[in-house]
Amino acid sequence: MQFIFYHDPIAKMRHRHLKNGITYDPQSHQKISMRKEMSFMIQKELSATREKVVDISDISTAQAFIVHFLFEFPCPDSDPVSTKNLKMWDIIPHNKKPDLSNLIKFYEDCANGVIFHDDSMIIKGRIEKKYSQTNQPRVVMTVIPQKDITPAKTKEVLKLIEPTRVRELMKACHILTTLPLSDLETCSDEKKKGYLDYISLVIMGFANEFANDLTKIKKKCPIEGTTRVFNTNKN
């Protein structure tokens, strides 16, 4: 869902701690009023049309959010025409104040309690600050709800073993694939004994290292029916 605000991007002013220990909030009454107005606009947009029912449902049930911000600034009136053109072509970047972090914070505050319960639910996003191609200011906020679509069975398995442990298992399985089984048919009896000792040692080490993990998964997450993931009879 996308929200567009046609005004100069607004930055949140941070609290300041004075020498006497008092915390001073420098936000102006105008910005506070603007924040309330935009929160109302967001709420109005969410409930505006029937076509957005699906979006609203996704937002209300989301566990996290991806939020993209685009902040477009007008060129200063004092700029010569040539400089304005280069800025509107995005050749000269907007590397001036306000800071991106303060810009984001203001609009996150506007969406707090309206789109998401708290801006801590935002887990990632793309942020861009630039001069407007039309020399008209605007803020584009794109909100993408991230729902949990992981099947229950998958979660049951993965909560029993961590990613690093799976990597260790994969490395161990690779060692198993290098066992000299084909050499047993052609080697001498003396070498065969050495090969068998090595193969048995590797198998024992594998079983000792991963038996508990695999047994726990097998007991708690058995494969239903006769389905086989690995067909060991294939040539």
- Given a cut of 90, whether residue 171 has pLDDT beyond it is yes
Tell me the DSSP string of 188-213: -HHHHHHHHHHHHHHHHHHHHHHHHH
Task: Tell me: pLDDT of 65 over 90.
Answer: yes
**What's the whole-number mean pLDDT along residues 184-201?**
91
Banded model confidence at residue 54, pLDDT cuts 50, 70, 90 = low
Averaged pLDDT, 137-151: 91
Average pLDDT, the chain: 86
Average pLDDT over residues 196-200: 95
- Position 160 scores a pLDDT of 96
Q: How far is Cα 21 from Cα 14, in angstroms, rounded to an integer? A: 16
Mean pLDDT of 75-97: 96
Q: What is the pLDDT of residue 1?
A: 85
What pLDDT, on a 0 to 100 scale, did the predictor assign at position 185? 86
Q: What is the pLDDT of residue 45?
A: 74
Query: pLDDT-derived band of residue 113, with 50, 70 and 90 as boundaries?
Result: confident
Report the percentage of the chain scoring pLDDT > 90: 57
Report DSSP letters for the chain, one per residue. -EEEE-S----PPPPEE-TTS-EE----HHHHHHHHHHHHHHHHHHTS-GGGHHHHHHHHH-SEEEEEEEEEEPPPTTS-HHHHHHHHTTSS---SSSPHHHHHHHHHHHHBTTTBS-GGGEEE--EEEEE-TTS--EEEEEEEEE-----HHHHHHHTTS-HHHHHHHHHHHHHHHT---GGGGTS-HHHHHHHHHHHHHHHHHHHHHHHHHHHHHHHHSPPPTT--S--TT--
pLDDT at residue 181 is higher than 80: yes
- In this predicted structure, the answer to whether residue 148 has a pLDDT above a threshold of 60 is yes
**Can you give the pLDDT at residue 23?**
52
